[in-house]
Chains A and B, each alone.
Chain A
Amino acid sequence: MSDRFFIRLLYGTLPLLVWAFHFFAVYLLVAAQCSPALITPQAPRHAMLAMLSVLALGACATLLWRARATLRDGAKDGAKNDANTPRLLDWAQAGGAVLAMLGVIWTSVPVLMIDGCG
Chain B
Amino acid sequence: MTAAVPDTLPSALPSALPSSLPRPAGELERLQAAWKTPVGWRFFSSVNNTSIGLLYIGTALLFFVLAGILGLMMRAQLAVPENTLLSAATYNQVFTMHGTVMMFLFAIPVVEAIAVYLLPNMLGARDLPFPRLSAYAFWAYAIGGLAFFCTLFAGLAPDGGWFMYPPLTGKQYSPGLNADFWLLGIGFIEISAIAGAIELIVGILFTRAPGMTLGRMPVYAWAMLVVGVMIVFAFPAIIAGTALLELERAYDWPFFIADRGGDPILWQHLFWFFGHPEVYIIFLPAAGMVSTMIPTIAGTPLVGRTQIVVALVAVGFFSFALWAHHMFTAGLGVLEMSFVSAASMAVAVPTAIQLFAWIATLWRGTVRITGPTLFLLGFMFIFVLGGLTGVMVAVLPFNWQVHDTYFVVAHFHYVLIGGMVFPVFAAMYYWIPLINGNRLSEPVARWVFALMFGGFNLAFFPMHITGLLGMPRRVYTYAADLGWNGLNLASTVGAFILAAGVLLFVADAVRTFRKVGKQVGNPWKAATLEWLPSEYYNNRSIPHITSMEPLWDQPGLAAEVEAGRHYLPGSASGKRETIVTSPVSAEPRYVLILPTDSWWPLIAAAGTAGFFLLLTVKMTLIAFACGIAAVTAIIVWLWQGDRPAPIETAKVSDTLTLPVGATGAAAPSWWATIIMLVVDASIFASFVFAYIHISMRLTVCPPPNAALADPLWPWLSGSLLVAGSALFALARRSIDIGTGAGKPVLPWLVLAALACMGAAFACDFNGHRLAGLEPTSLAWSAAVAALLAYQGLHVAGIALAALYLCARAWSGHVTSASRATLDNTALMWHYTTLQGIAASLAIHIVPTLMG
Residues of A within 8 A of B (CB): 1-5, 8, 12-13, 16-17, 19-20, 23-24, 26-27, 30-32, 34-38, 44, 83-89, 91-92, 95-96, 99, 102-103, 106-107, 109-111, 113-114, 116-118
Contacts and interface: CB of A to CB of B under 8 A. Distances in A.
A88 B225 CA distance: 15
Interface of B: 3, 5, 205, 213-216, 306-307, 309-311, 313-314, 317-318, 320-321, 333-336, 338-343, 345-346, 349-350, 548, 582-585, 587, 589, 662, 665-666, 696-701, 850-851
Contacts of B696: 31-32, 35-37
Contacts of A99: 310, 314, 318, 346, 349-350
A5 B206 CA distance: 11
B5 to A, nearest CB: 7
A84 B215 contact: yes
21 contacts: A1-B5, A12-B313, A17-B317, A26-B339, A27-B340, A37-B850, A37-B851, A38-B850, A44-B335, A85-B213, A85-B215, A85-B585, A86-B215, A88-B214, A91-B307, A92-B313, A99-B310, A103-B342, A103-B343, A110-B341, A113-B338
Contact of A23 (B3, B334, B339, B350): B339
A110 B697 CA distance: 24
A68 to B, nearest CB: 14
Given A1-B589, A99-B350, 5 more contacts: A8-B584, A30-B339, A37-B850, A85-B585, A106-B345
Contacts, number: 144
A107 B307 contact: no
A100 to B, nearest CB: 8
A37 B313 contact: no
Given A37-B699, A96-B310, A111-B335, A84 B548 contact: yes
A23 B349 contact: no
Contacts of A1: 3, 5, 582-583, 589, 662, 665-666
A34 B346 CA distance: 25
Nearest to A93: B310
Contacts of B336: 27, 30-31
A14 B31 CA distance: 44
Contacts of A35: 696-697
A88 B313 contact: no
Given A1-B5, A85-B215, A96 B338 contact: no
Contacts of A102: 346, 349
Contacts of A92: 306, 309-310, 313
Contact of A106 (B317, B335, B342): B342
**Which residue, A1, A20, A31, has most C-beta atoms of chain B within 10 A?**
A1
Contacts of B321: 20, 23-24, 103
Contacts of B587: 3
Nearest to B582: A3
Nearest to B347: A103
Nearest to B318: A103
A32 B309 CA distance: 36
Nearest to B338: A110
A31 B341 CA distance: 16
Given A34-B333, A118-B333, A20 B320 contact: yes
Contacts of A27: 336, 339-340
A118 B589 CA distance: 58
Given A96-B310, A102-B346, A118 B213 contact: no
Given A3-B585, A30-B336, A87-B215, A109 B342 contact: yes
A90 B475 CA distance: 52
**Which residue, B310, B313, B585, B696, has most C-beta atoms of chain A within 10 A?**
B310
B334 A88 contact: no
B674 to A, nearest CB: 11
Contacts of A84: 213-216, 548
